[in-house]
C-alpha cells in the first residue's frame, strides 16, 4: 500500500509514527463513542504534532494494526481512521481507500462514490461495540481527559449577572456575522433568542432555512464558564433541531461558541469530542 507503513511491526515499535499511533488510537475511540469526526489539524494538536501532514503514516499504522487484528479475530474491524477528515473537503485522505480498493479502483471512483463509501464506514464505526476490547488488545488506555475538574466546576456554578464586556461583544457579533465566519447576508442577528426549552441564545441569525446560534463568552470568562459554553452549544443544537423538526421544517443549523479571549488549551479535547466550533480572540 502506498503511503502506509508495512505490516512488519504494526502499531508496536519505537518509530515516531508508531508511538504517535498508540496515542492517536484512544483519541479516535473517544471520538467514535461520541459519534463525532475530527479534523487532521485537531488530531495533530492533541498529539502535539507541528505538521498534520505527518499523520498519514500514523493513521496508516492504525489501519494496518486493525487489519491484522481483524484477521486474528476473524472479523472486519471498521476503519476508525476514517474519523479524521480534511477540514475543507470533509473527507478523509485517499490513503484510507487503499484498505478498501485496488489502486485502479480508487482512480475510477467518483467523488460521490467516495462519499457513499465513507458514510457507510462511519456508520459501522459508530455502532461497533468492541472498541474497548481493541484498546485492551493493544494494552492502551482511554484518552485521558484533563478537564474533569473544570467540568465539575461548570456543573456547580450558578449563573451570575451579565457583564458589560459580554453585552458589548454580543451586540458586536449580532451586527456583524462575518466575525464568526458567516456571510454578511445573514444581516443583524437577534439577541437573547428564546427557545421552547426556556433557554435564551445570546445571538441567533436566520436566513431562509439556514440558522446560526452563537453562544458568547467575554474575555473575562473563566475556564469553567467556557466549558459551560461548549455544552450550551450542544444543547442549543439539540433543542433547535428538535423544535424545527416538530414543525416539519428542515434547516441547516450551525452552532458556534464565540470567545472574547483565547480558547483554553485544556478544553481542546472536550471541544473536539463535542464537535463544537469555536471562534476566539474577538475584541469588542
pLDDT at position 113: 84
For residue 148, pLDDT beyond 80: no
Least confident of 21-25, 103-107, 159-163: 103-107
Which of 3.30.950.10, 3.40.1350.10, 3.40.50.2000, 3.30.1490.100 would CATH assign to domain 148-279? 3.40.1350.10
The reported pLDDT for the residue numbered 115 is 85
Answer yes or no: is pLDDT of 8 > 50.
no
Provide the residue count of the chain.
284
Does residue 35 have a pLDDT over 50? yes
What does the pLDDT read at residue 7? 46
| Element holding 106 (H helix, E strand) | helix 103-108
The pLDDT score that the predictor gives to residue 207 is 87
Contact in structure between 235 and 278 (CB atoms under 8 Å) = no
Tell me the three cell numbers of residue 33: 463513542
At 160, is the pLDDT very low, low, confident or very high (cuts 50, 70, 90)? low
Dihedral of CA atoms 98, 99, 100, 101 in degrees, nearest 10, equals 30
Assess contact for 220 and 240: CB atoms under 8 A.
no
What does each C-alpha distance from 58 to 32, 51, 71, 108, 278 come to in angstroms? Answer: 18, 12, 20, 26, 26
pLDDT in tens, 98-107: 777 666 666 6
Domain boundaries, the chain: 16-137, 148-279
pLDDT of residue 105: 65
- The residue-averaged pLDDT of 127-145 equals 91
Q: Using CA atoms, how far apart are residues 204 and 187, in angstroms rounded to an integer? A: 11
Per residue in 191-249, pLDDT (tens digit) is 999 999 999 999 999 988 899 999 999 999 999 999 999 999 999 999 999 999 999 99
Secondary structure, 3-state, 47-59 = CCCCCHHHHHHHH
Q: What is the mean pLDDT of the chain?
A: 88
pLDDT in tens, 71-99: 999 999 999 999 999 888 888 887 777 77
Amino acid at each position: 500500500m502506498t503511503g502506509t507503513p508495512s505490516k512488519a511491526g504494526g502499531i508496536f515499535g519505537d518509530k515516531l509514527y508508531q508511538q504517535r499511533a498508540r496515542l492517536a488510537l484512544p483519541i479516535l475511540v473517544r471520538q467514535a463513542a461520541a459519534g463525532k469526526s475530527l479534523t487532521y489539524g485537531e488530531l495533530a494538536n492533541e498529539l502535539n504534532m507541528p505538521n498534520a501532514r505527518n499523520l498519514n503514516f500514523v493513521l496508516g499504522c492504525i489501519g494496518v494494526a486493525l487489519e491484522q487484528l481483524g484477521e486474528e479475530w476473524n472479523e472486519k474491524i471498521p476503519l476508525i481512521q476514517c474519523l479524521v477528515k480534511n477540514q475543507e473537503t470533509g473527507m478523509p485522505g485517499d490513503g484510507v481507500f487503499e484498505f478498501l480498493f485496488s489502486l485502479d479502483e480508487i482512480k475510477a471512483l467518483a467523488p460521490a462514490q467516495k462519499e457513499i463509501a465513507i458514510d457507510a464506514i462511519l456508520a459501522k464505526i459508530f455502532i461497533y461495540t468492541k472498541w474497548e476490547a481493541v484498546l485492551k488488545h493493544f494494552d492502551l488506555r482511554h484518552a485521558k481527559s484533563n478537564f474533569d475538574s473544570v467540568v465539575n466546576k461548570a456543573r456547580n456554578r450558578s449563573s451570575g449577572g451579565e457583564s458589560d464586556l459580554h453585552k458589548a461583544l454580543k451586540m458586536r457579533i449580532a451586527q456583524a456575522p462575518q466575525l464568526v465566519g458567516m456571510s454578511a447576508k445573514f444581516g443583524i442577528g437577534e439577541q437573547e433568542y428564546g427557545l421552547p426549552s426556556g433557554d435564551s441564545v445570546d445571538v441567533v441569525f436566520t436566513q431562509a432555512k439556514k440558522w446560526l446560534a452563537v453562544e458568547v463568552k467575554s474575555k473575562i470568562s473563566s475556564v469553567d464558564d467556557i466549558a459551560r459554553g461548549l455544552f450550551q452549544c450542544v444543547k442549543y443544537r439539540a433543542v433547535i433541531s428538535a423544535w424545527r423538526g416538530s414543525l416539519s421544517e428542515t434547516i441547516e443549523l450551525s452552532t458556534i461558541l464565540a470567545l472574547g479571549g483565547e480558547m483554553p488549551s485544556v478544553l481542546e479535547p472536550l471541544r473536539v469530542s463535542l464537535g463544537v466550533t469555536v471562534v476566539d480572540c474577538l475584541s469588542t
